[in-house]
Amino acid sequence: MTAVNATAAQSSLGEAVAARPQNFGGDGDRRASRAPATYAALDLGTNNCRLLVARPIRDSSQGGNENFRIVDAFSRIVRLGEGVSQTGSLSEEAIARTIDALLVCRDKMVARGVTRARLIATEACRAAENGLEFIERARAETGLKLEIIGRETEARLAAVGCASLADAAAKAVVLFDIGGGSSEIVWLGRGGPQGGERIRHWTSLKLGVVTLAERFGGDEVSYAQFNAMTDLVVSELQQFIDSAAKEERCHRFHLLGTSGTVTTLAGIHLNLPRYDRRRVDGLWMSHAEIDAVMNRLRRMSYAERSQNSCIGPERADLVLAGCAILEGIRRSFPSERIRIADRGLREGMLLELMRADRSFAI
């Protein structure tokens, strides 16, 4: 392919795969029925840029449940929201790192022949005064049109992506997604596996691992700093606690967590020599096990956290802020167990796109 033709193809892809879901599918476009579709979901957060490319399947091992097969994936820590809580703007350095990651994502979508996608940006772009300017620049330089989603949409997508891991016998589950710039908390009632229809209450805290670490410190965190972060989270959760106070619980009530914080805790708990999603996704951890691993983490120095294979140097200054957010959630909603989800917004987007196209129809 010539350079000119390659550029044209990438530009076409940017328009085709990045358009919002309502521009595809439905009665006017039965693309999924004419040929197997390849879907992509991109989540650009405050800290990470993550992509999943997948094709729909019916999982016969689980009674024909809706599922998909991942054909490509990409994740890179870009720290797009670095400094936004202090300056109000995305920095040029952070934008350059993110553009580089988006170019990798674009090339992967081109290579995999993606026909349908949703590409979202979350808190960093919501909060930054130059967030929309960055979106336009990203489109000009990569051909990808990102969509800045609201907090309610973010909470719903997390629920869609994770609901299948909730205990089906529980009358209520508190789902949480600890992000870089915000944290979404969702009260799920009993219902079907799709997630969105089970939401009874939700909130979004303007507290994430990046914003808390920038405010309180992340390299070396004293017990006083950790407790101050936890107390702030509990305080910010009070209105949500009050709104859910009358909701019915049962002895199977539990927490369901999706984020780098909880998957890191799970990896350390399992003493994994390197992170393994297959062992972490769906893992149940008890209250005592969470206590033990968090205490272990809090005793580590910054250097020790950097050397841990489940943390690494890129996240060593953020993981204790995540633990403080988790501790605030646990204090607000005591539970004897928590289920760990290595899935979330991207999986929620993929499922919604595939359902809209009726890709699971037999």
Look at 3-12, 57-66, 157-166, 283-292 and tell me which has the smallest mean pLDDT: 3-12
pLDDT for the residue numbered 67: 86
Among 6-10, 45-49, 295-299, the minimum mean pLDDT is found in 6-10
pTM, two decimal places: 0.86
pLDDT of 225 strictly over 80: yes
pLDDT average, residue stretch 162-185: 95
pLDDT at 30 over 90: no
Mean of the per-residue pLDDT values of the chain: 88
Is the CA virtual torsion 72, 76, 78, 80 positive or negative? positive
pLDDT of residue 197: 73
Distance between CA atoms of residues 281 and 265, nearest Å: 12
* In contact, 158 and 177? CB cutoff 8 Å: yes
- Categorize the per-residue pLDDT at 193 as very low, low, confident or very high, splitting at 50, 70 and 90: low
Task: Kindly indicate the confidence band of residue 59, based on its pLDDT and cuts at 50, 70 and 90.
Answer: low
What are the chain's domains?
3-149 (3.30.420.40), 152-346 (3.30.420.150)
pLDDT at residue 195 in the model:
66
pLDDT tier for residue 69 given thresholds of 50, 70 and 90: very high
**Lowest mean pLDDT segment, chosen from 191-195, 247-251, 269-273:** 191-195
Query: Checking DSSP bridges between strand 199-205 and strand 183-189, what pairing results, if any?
Result: antiparallel
Contact 79/96 with Cβ under 8 angstroms? no
